[in-house]
Amino acid sequence: MTGAEVLVPNVVSPLVVSIYKPAIVVGLLTGFIALLGIAFKKGDLTALILTDLVGLAMLVIVAAVATDLAEALVLPGLVVELAEILAIGEILMSREMRKTEKPVGLIPLPLSLDMEILDTAPAFLAIILVVHGCFLTGFTGGAVAGVGILFYVLSKTIRGVPTHIWEGIAGISGMAWVLWLVGFLLFFVAPQYWLLGLFLSACGIMVKVASKVGLIGVMGREEFKREK
Amino acid sequence: MLDIYVWFYTGCALMILGSIATVIGPGVKDPVIRTLNTEVAAVGVSMIFLTYNHTIALLTFVASTLIITMILLRAIVRLEEMEAKV
């Protein structure tokens, strides 16, 4: 990296610059090992697990950039990795389900947990989490509110969830996207209203992230329909 | 205090060891063991994040690793319940 010193700004600490090269090498090496594994091992499930490993290698390469830029890039990287694993796993399972035509539960549990508390507690806890998430706004608030929705769904699946809720969540997600775009447009078109733009974007991203986490329920929609 | 390089190079070593263990480690024919082996590499990534002071990234990473492990275990258990050949 002899020519790279020119591009490194002064704010980057020399420590970070000194460990940049080993970090990149480790990231590339891990990614290479994982991809070799995917190439040589047989089986879809193996490939799914090794995809997780490739994601980890990607995170190290992003982290090697250091400073706040890396922090800002790692968060979307994590979300993308999560969505990727979830989507591939879901596709794999539905394909096998079609092949073997054997009905299995949405969430494999060794016990039948049909308890009274699953009927009363989730609504209360979900409301607290969603209200707190709305108060926080932004990415963090979205994650908190999303956990509330997810908790509600996972507790209720044992007794059955009405499917039309998920259609509504998908619709709200679209509106949040518009809020976010309008917020960003305001920054450029009318910079004097920056506070309004900031709040529009923050609320938009909050609803967006919350519904993304909540959308896991949409994947199980066909199973909800089949069971109840 | 320990030198900061100790954390970084421990993370690097754990990451490479973990990835090798996931691909050709002992007993990886069982998908559950293979999934648990990825946790070794995940601890390595956490240590590298720690070296760089990526606090929020580290917190989110710990949470998302947990969720990914749950997703993978759910996929494994469901596929075994279906008696699929994967």
pLDDT tens, position by position, A13-58: 888 888 889 999 999 999 999 999 999 888 888 999 999 999 999 9
Is the CB of residue B21 less than 8 Å away from at least one CB of chain A? no
State mean pLDDT over A86-98: 84
In this predicted model, which residue has the larger pLDDT, A102 or A125? Answer: A125
Whole-number pLDDT of residue A227: 47
Residues 6+ apart with CB under 8 A from A132: A141, A144, A145
Residue B68 lies in a domain: yes
Q: Has residue A163 got a pLDDT over 80?
A: no
* Reported confidence tier of residue A228, pLDDT bands at 50, 70, 90: very low
Local confidence band at A60 (pLDDT 50, 70, 90 cut-offs): very high
pLDDT at A5: 56
Tell if the CB–CB gap between A75 and B56 is shorter than 8 Å.
Answer: yes
| Residue A78 pLDDT exceeds 90 | no
Q: Is CATH 1.10.760 correct for A1-102?
A: no
Domain borders along chain A are 1-102, 109-228
pLDDT of A183 higher than 90: no
pLDDT value of residue A170: 64
Q: How far is A64 from chain B (nearest CA, A)?
A: 8
- Cβ contacts of B22 on chain A, cutoff 8 Å: 34, 37, 49-50, 53
ipTM: 0.90
| Cβ contact A33–B23 (<8 Å) | yes
By C-alpha distance, the chain A residue nearest B43 is: A56
Q: Does B47 touch chain A (CB under 8 A)?
A: no
Count Cβ atoms within 10 A of the Cβ of residue A29 and give its class: 0-12 exposed, 13-18 middle, 19 or more buried.
middle
In this structure, is residue B86 part of a structural domain? no
CB contact under 8 A, B16 and A92: no
Closest residue in B to A150 (Cα) is: B67
State whether B38 and A81 contact (CB < 8 Å).
no
| Helices assigned H by DSSP within B1-30 | 4-24
Query: Of B12, B14, B19, which to mutate for an interface test with A (greatest number of A Cβ within 10 Å)?
Result: B19
CA distance A82 to B68: 6
Task: Find, among B29, B64, B47, B26, the residue nearest to A63 by Cα.
Answer: B47
Q: How many domains does chain B have?
A: 1
Split at pLDDT 50, 70, 90, the class of A69 is confident
* Rounded distance between C-alpha atoms, residue A70 and residue A77, angstroms: 10
Encode pLDDT of A195-218 as tens digits.
Answer: 888 888 888 877 777 776 666 655
Run of H or E including A208: helix A194-214
| B55 domain residue, yes or no | yes
Q: Closest Cα of chain A to B38: distance in Å?
A: 7
Quote the pLDDT of residue A42. 80
CB contact under 8 A, A108 and B54: no
Q: Is the pLDDT of residue A87 over 70?
A: yes
Pick out chain B residues at pLDDT < 70.
1, 85-86
Res A222 pLDDT > 70: no
Structure tokens at A56: 């980890």
Residues A107-150: pLDDT tens digits? 666 666 666 776 777 778 888 888 887 777 777 777 777 778 77
Nearest residue, CB atoms, A108 vs list B67, B72, B77: B77
Name residues whose C-beta falls within 8 Å of residue B69's C-beta, 6 or more positions apart in sequence.
B35, B38, B39
CB contact under 8 A, B38 and A26: no
| Mean pLDDT in residue range A153-178 | 66
Residue with the larger pLDDT of the pair A57 and A176: A57
Q: How many CB pairs under 8 A join A and B?
A: 142
